[in-house]
Amino acid sequence: MSEEGWFDELLYDGVTHKGYTQSFKIDKVLFREKTDFQGLIIFETPYFGKVLALDGIIQTTEKDEFCYHEMQAHVPILAHGNAKRVLIIGGGDGGVLREVLRHATVEKAVMVEIDRMVVDLCREYMPTLSDGAFDDPRAQLVIADGLKYVAGTDDRFDVIIVDSTDPVGPGEALFTAEFYGNCKRCLTDGGVVVTQNGVTFFQPEEVTGTCCRLKPIFADAGFYVTVVPTYVGGFMTLGWGTDDTTLRDVPQEVLADRFAGSGLMTRYYTPDVHRAAFALPAFIIAEIAED
Ligand code: SAM
């Protein structure tokens, strides 16, 4: 926290900051605690509503969370076309779980979150994020390390969504080849895994590293993008790994039919945005091509 009344997020490459920061005026700190895994703060702001930060890094805000949660959930599920079982790793605020459960095709959504306090505090102080998703009979919350869960489970999933913190602290394990290899083991035929993969402008090594680890495992390993205002620096990349090379290029009319059939009302996702999200800017392609 900076001078009284402001929250500074030091923008960084996961290790050192770049001499650049974004600041949020704090109207009220709702909760602040060191959990068993990370420093957690939830605070009220004049423009972004309530904000969750972990270890000083912005995780989600009431105002712009939809830009991220819609794209993490609807791109893989509508590309797959018949996702019944979905695994979410991380995602403690419940935003991805909420979006996943809006799909009637989804019969089971297992969410594996290492830090129960994130779930409990977001349910209490930021309930619009999960919006009742944790009480959905199709939802199963598992409090565990996602790395261990995917290594040990006999369950299989059509879509795996890794909504992790950045590769520091407990999230570091979720950026490893071991983790991605076990995610593949947990996928059904034609399944797809998507990952939170940072803002390339500030964290270029995240796409380079993830690409090197995904490519030996999946027939199609790549990225798509979204833009989340409080994930400062432009495009946020989301990792993509599947053995079904057609999934990234589902025809517009098929996506439009699936989207219409889902009954989803969205504020960021559209079938056109879905397809366009796989068109990466040259500077991101350059980071990937380096591996
Ligand atoms: N959307 C955010 C972003 O892009 O940075 C992430 C939001 S969510 C709060 C990230 C969650 O990942 C946190 O609740 C954190 O506790 C969880 N997490 C970190 N490492 C984990 C692990 N190894 N296993 C399971 N959950 C983990």
Mean pLDDT of the chain: 95
The average pLDDT across 91-109 equals 98
Q: Which of 46, 61, 76 is the last residue of a domain?
A: 61
For ligand 1, the distance from its centroid to the CA atom of residue 3, given in whole angstroms, is 27
Tell whether 117 is covered by a domain. Answer: yes
Of 7-16, 57-66, 153-162, the least confident: 7-16
Q: Are residues 18 and 133 in the same domain?
A: no
| Residue nearest atom 2 of ligand 1, based on CA coordinates | 59
Length of the chain: 291
Q: What is the pLDDT of residue 1?
A: 47
Mutate to test the pocket of ligand 1, among 165, 174, 175, 235 (most ligand atoms within 8 A of CB): 165
For ligand 1, the distance from its centroid to the CA atom of residue 121, given in whole angstroms, is 14
Q: Are residues 163 and 93 in the same domain?
A: yes
Domain coverage including residue 15: 6-61
Q: Are residues 204 and 283 in the same domain?
A: yes
Q: Which phi and psi angles does 154 have, rounded to 5°?
A: -95, 0
Q: Are residues 235 and 275 in the same domain?
A: yes
Contact status, residue 237 vs residue 197, Cβ threshold 8 Å: yes
Q: Are residues 202 and 268 in the same domain?
A: yes
Position 291 pLDDT exceeds 80: no
The Cβ of residue 159 has, within 10 Å, a number of other Cβ atoms equal to 27
The kind and range of the H/E element at 116 are helix 116-125
Binding pocket residue ranges, ligand 1, CB within 6 Å: 37, 59-60, 68, 89-93, 112-115, 118, 145-147, 163-165, 170-171, 173-174, 196
For ligand 1, the distance from its centroid to the CA atom of residue 172, given in whole angstroms, is 10
Q: Which of 28, 45, 61 is the last residue of a domain?
A: 61
CATH number at residue 25: 2.30.140.10
Residue 65 CA: nearest ligand 1 atom is 1
Position 155 pLDDT exceeds 80: yes
Domain count across the chain? 2
Q: Are residues 213 and 253 in the same domain?
A: yes
Q: Are residues 24 and 73 in the same domain?
A: no
Q: Are residues 194 and 75 in the same domain?
A: yes
CATH number at residue 140: 3.40.50.150
Contact status, residue 47 vs residue 57, Cβ threshold 8 Å: no
The average pLDDT across 91-110 equals 98
Residue 72 CA: nearest ligand 1 atom is 1
Residue-wise pLDDT tens digits, 222-261: 999 999 999 999 999 999 999 999 999 999 999 999 999 9
Q: What is the pLDDT of residue 169?
A: 87
Q: Which of 65, 69, 101 is nearest to 83 (CA)?
A: 101
Residue 223: which residues within 8 A CB-CB, separation 6 or more? 197, 207, 210, 211, 237, 238, 239, 240, 280, 284, 288
Mutate to test the pocket of ligand 1, among 40, 64, 114, 116 (most ligand atoms within 8 A of CB): 114
Tell whether 161 is covered by a domain. Answer: yes
The kind and range of the H/E element at 28 are strand 28-34
Residue 228 CA: nearest ligand 1 atom is 4
Q: Are residues 178 and 233 in the same domain?
A: yes
Residue 91 CA: nearest ligand 1 atom is 8
Confidence of residue 290 (pLDDT cuts 50, 70, 90): low
Residue 147 CA: nearest ligand 1 atom is 23
For ligand 1, the distance from its centroid to the CA atom of residue 37, given in whole angstroms, is 10
Q: Are residues 86 and 49 in the same domain?
A: no
Tell whether 78 is covered by a domain. Answer: yes
| Residue nearest atom 27 of ligand 1, based on CA coordinates | 90
List, by residue number, the catalytic residues: 163
For ligand 1, the distance from its centroid to the CA atom of residue 163, given in whole angstroms, is 6
Position 2 pLDDT exceeds 70: no
Query: Which 8-state DSSP code applies to residue 186?
Result: T
Tell whether 183 is covered by a domain. Answer: yes
Q: Are residues 57 and 77 in the same domain?
A: no
Tell whether 1 is covered by a domain. Answer: no
Of 62-66, 109-113, 121-125, 207-211, the least confident: 207-211
Q: Are residues 52 and 91 in the same domain?
A: no
Tell whether 181 is covered by a domain. Answer: yes
For ligand 1, the distance from its centroid to the CA atom of residue 113, given in whole angstroms, is 7
Query: Is the pTM of the predicted complex or chain greater than 0.95?
Result: yes
